[in-house]
Amino acid sequence: MKRDTRLTEYARSLRQEMVYPSIQTMLVMDPTEAIHSELILETFHRYFTNTQFAPLGGAIAYPLLTHNARMFAAADNDERAHWIDRIVAADDRFLAEHPDSSLFAYFAGTPRKAVLEESGDLAEWDALELERERHAQANGGEYYERGPLSVALLALEQEHAARQGAEAQVAQLQSELQAIRENFWYPKIKRALDADATRRVRQSRPVQRVERLVRKERPA
């Protein structure tokens, strides 16, 4: 039981943060990343006769292991290998239960040369491709409607950006308020220090003469 507890704690230390890039980030960083990956097999079968296909899985192992710096920096090689093996085994079981879940596959085939004579199919496929590109161009580079996950991630990113903007505004206002406070007290202290000197200056005859002239010229 103690070993299980220790292993559980160790497993938690190997977890990585599950972060998904937003659509905007992908469009800026690499708009070609896995583009139309769901069409690879369909398109392959149009032009090739499938002779070998081996799904490699990845639905579980890929998000847990890829870019997992904690896992590969772990000092205990045996424990690290233990958890990698468990993750890969879970991935294999999931693939067996859900054959269509594979993120990776190896496949090979021979060309279907006869398809090049099927002008009707070729024209239809060209039309589908042109329509897909036209729709994406009109939709800001996005080919498909956003799913619930992408909508939620976009809302979260916008909320994070809005919070950062609000925090920046608060910091700016606090800085301006501090400057106002400092500038507000400085004249008061300065006037208090100069009060006697100011009084003596105003009591001098030249200054009193100027003040009388100003009062005379000031409209009633």
Same domain, 6 and 107: yes
For the chain, count helices (H), then strands (E). 9, 2
> Residue 95 burial by CB count (10 A; 0-12/13-18/19+): exposed, middle or buried?
buried
Which pLDDT belongs to residue 1?
41
- Name 110's bridge partners: 49
Same domain, 105 and 193: no
Does 82 fall in a domain?
yes
Same domain, 17 and 107: yes
Does 122 fall in a domain?
no
Residues 84-111 have pLDDT tens digits of 999 999 999 999 999 989 999 999 999 9
Distance CA 143, CA 153 (A): 18
Contact 109, 51 (CB under 8 A): yes
Instruction: Return the closest-CA partner of residue 9 out of 55, 103, 96, 74.
Output: 74
Of 45, 77, 111, which marks where a domain is finished? Answer: 111
Instruction: Return the closest-CA partner of residue 57 out of 13, 16, 92, 31.
Output: 92
Same domain, 69 and 169: no
Does 169 fall in a domain?
yes
Residues 107-164 have pLDDT tens digits of 999 999 999 999 999 999 999 999 999 998 898 888 888 888 778 878 888 888 888 8
Residues 11-67 have pLDDT tens digits of 777 788 777 777 777 777 777 777 788 899 899 999 999 789 999 999 999 999 988
Q: Supply the range of the domain harboring residue 67.
A: 2-111
Does 208 fall in a domain?
yes
Distance CA 46, CA 44 (A): 5
Average pLDDT over residues 199-206: 69
- State residue 105 phi and psi, 5-degree precision: -160, 155
Same domain, 74 and 175: no
Same domain, 77 and 7: yes
Of 91, 111, 131, which marks where a domain is finished? Answer: 111
Does 145 fall in a domain?
no
Which pLDDT belongs to residue 204?
73
Does 141 fall in a domain?
no
Location of structure tokens 């990698």? 84
Say how many domains are in the chain.
2
Instruction: Establish how many alpha carbons lie within 13 A of residue 121's alpha carbon, considering only the half-sphere containing its beta carbon.
Output: 8
Token pair for 189: 């202290």
